[in-house]
Chain A
Amino acid sequence: MLTLPQRERRQAWVLLAPMLLMMFLLTAWPLARTLWLSFTDAGLIGDGSAPNWVGSENFLYALTDPDFRAALWRTLYFTVVSVIIEGFIGVLVALLLNQQFWGRSALRVLVILPWALPTIVNATMWRLNFNPDYGSINALLTQLGLIDTYRSWLGDPSSAINAVMFADIWKNYPLITLLVLAALQTIPEDLFEAARLDGASAFRRFRKITLPAIAAPLAVALILRTIDAFKVFDIIYVMTRGGPLDSTKTVSFFVYQESFSYLRAGSGAAYAILMTLICALLILIYMVMLLRQRRSGSIE
């Protein structure tokens, strides 16, 4: 006869088991296999022979590979700059949508649209807009008199990554807006009233009331965006395929090519593991934030 707590524990595991088993098969197990692959010279298309164990050779090569390092720096640039801009625009738009004005609710709906647009459709849309011969961007800027000759935005190594970032920012700042706006709406109006009566300046009111209220959700939104931006692949694939001259070859794209274009699974796995280690750090930060949020009881 089981004691009650023991029986309860069994119930808990029975309910959990299917999900954990599925996750193990689809994630933990493949991750372990990727780690194993990274120490071999496996190819993508087997010639029937088993892959050879090459020890840390893949990693030693990866760590000294200038192309990989370049991809890392490129991804860092992409991530840091676009997340900062997204944070900035995201907060400004949230502040605007928190003001009283006619048409505010319509705008609140509108801001969801870029977020909801499928990533590939967004990438396709901007690829068309940036088209060197018939794209709307060239047409618009020329007609406004801002540029005098049509430019090849995605075909020029100096502008391609910025054009991709533009498309990424347009789609992703709404995420930050939505999370920050939700926090802004929880601030009671009389807090501001009281501060006003005390003669606090607008800047001081922002710093003392608004900022503390949005700090936690903004931090969560920024770290989520950072993780996603670091993994960026889809938009690169559609807009530039990593070109021109590798100027938009981010880490995900680099690993994809190593594994599926050059068919070097072993070495691709090593790059993937390195990338995962960097992501793991970011994910850890996010987890700590979630735990903190939960402790303070404001988990939404």
Chain B
Amino acid sequence: MKQKIRLILRYLAALILAASILAPLVWMFLMSVSSAADLTRIPLEWLPRQWDFSRYASLLTLQAGQPGALFLHALGNSLLVACGATIISLLLAIPAAYSFSRYPGRDGWLFGSLAIYMVPPVAFVLPLYFILQQLSLLNTHLGLILVYCSMILPFLTWMLKNQFDALPIDIEQAARLDGLRYWQVLLRITLPLAKPALGASAMFGWLLAWDEFFYALLFTNNIDAQTLPVTIAGFTAGRATDDGLIAAVGILAAIPPLFIALWLQKTLVSGLTAGGSKG
């Protein structure tokens, strides 16, 4: 009997948990396919009387006058900035992480870089603003890419160092004895071994850029380089009066990170421990 009650309670808790996670997400999707009349009906009926996918169509078209022109442009900016910042960060983080891993004794720099990664952006934002202004990099992809490296680079260095630590070192030593230079060892031996971990870490870094809002808000004031989060915030600030449209944009913007997160499940914990969270 006691066992039974325990089992029932367990399933009840599981049900409440599932509902609490799914309800807001499902409702956001329902909003995106309900007509404006359905959404403003009191009392609310929850299910749309007419399923209406036209908002998605209007967001995924480049026709002038449609919200898609703005949305797809911002989506492109987000992709470009996130990918650019991730690639540059990888190029710098790989040798740095390798150095921390194989040549011990410089851990102060490693911890220092992780510490500065956690300092609030308001501590850097004014000088960065002035520097970008002077270099005419405000409202450019390059400006945002550079600034995003300040977040992704220390994070990736930390993640990759832990992954290099886990690789067997004797193959590298044998290669050194065969006369390979140290950078050749890194390129030919270590990197191929670390490839799967490398991809996961890079995706993590990419998520950080995809999610970033504060710098993007301040360093872009027109649509040239404006990323998706800034565009969404602009929609909510009254540029769009249709809640269903805002919900549709939210759904579309959430799809890439949701898939990446599911794909990252295995490395999630190590990434989170290194502060790969986005509060």
CB pair A15 B96 closer than 8 Å: yes
| B117 to chain A: closest residue by CB | A27
B residues less than 8 Å from A110 (CB atoms): 17-18, 21-22
Of A58-66, A156-164, A207-215, A232-240, which binds chain B?
A232-240
A residues less than 8 Å from B51 (CB atoms): none
Which residue of B42, B95, B102, B129 is within 8 Å of A19 (Cβ)?
A: B95
B154 close to A (CB within 8 Å): yes
| Complex-state Cα separation, A128 to B246, whole angstroms | 9
Q: How far is the CB of B95 from chain A (nearest CB, A)?
A: 4
CB pair B279 A179 closer than 8 Å: no
**Contact residues of A: prevailing secondary structure:** helix
Q: Closest 6 interchain pairs by CB?
A: A228-B279, A116-B261, A12-B103, A19-B96, A33-B127, A15-B99
A68 close to B (CB within 8 Å): no
B residues less than 8 Å from A234 (CB atoms): 213-214, 229
B residues less than 8 Å from A225 (CB atoms): 277, 279
Which residue of B20, B27, B95, B116 is within 8 Å of A27 (Cβ)?
A: B116
Beyond contacts A27-B124, A93-B17, A96-B17: 17 other A-B pairs, Cβ-Cβ < 8 A, are A15-B99, A44-B126, A96-B14, A109-B262, A116-B262, A118-B210, A119-B211, A124-B233, A175-B272, A175-B277, A225-B279, A228-B278, A231-B279, A255-B122, A268-B122, A272-B122, A273-B123
Q: How far is the CB of A218 from chain B (nearest CB, A)?
A: 12
Interface size on A, residues (CB 8 A): 100
A111 close to B (CB within 8 Å): yes
Please judge, given known A-B contacts A18-B95, A22-B92, A179-B272, whether A134 and B14 are in contact too, CB under 8 Å.
Answer: no
A-B contact pairs, 15 of them (CB 8 A): A13-B99, A15-B186, A18-B91, A23-B113, A26-B146, A30-B126, A30-B127, A109-B265, A118-B253, A125-B250, A231-B121, A238-B233, A255-B122, A272-B126, A283-B119
B136 close to A (CB within 8 Å): no
Which residue of A19, A117, A238 is within 8 Å of B92 (Cβ)?
A: A19
A81 close to B (CB within 8 Å): no
B182 close to A (CB within 8 Å): yes
| Complex-state Cα separation, A256 to B20, whole angstroms | 33
| Complex-state Cα separation, A126 to B46, whole angstroms | 16
Interface residues of A (CB under 8 A from B): 8-9, 11-13, 15-16, 18-20, 22-23, 26-31, 33-34, 37, 44, 93, 96, 99, 101, 103-104, 107, 109-121, 124-129, 131, 133-134, 136, 139, 142-143, 168, 170, 172, 175, 178-179, 182, 217, 220-221, 224-225, 227-234, 237-238, 252, 255-256, 259-260, 265, 268-269, 271-273, 275-276, 279-280, 283-284, 286-287, 290-291, 299-300
| A232 to chain B: closest residue by CB | B279
B194 close to A (CB within 8 Å): no
Which residue of A20, A101, A232 is within 8 Å of B109 (Cβ)?
A: A20
CB pair A107 B279 closer than 8 Å: no
| B229 to chain A: closest residue by CB | A120
| A103 to chain B: closest residue by CB | B14
| B186 to chain A: closest residue by CB | A15
CB pair B115 A287 closer than 8 Å: yes
B273 close to A (CB within 8 Å): yes
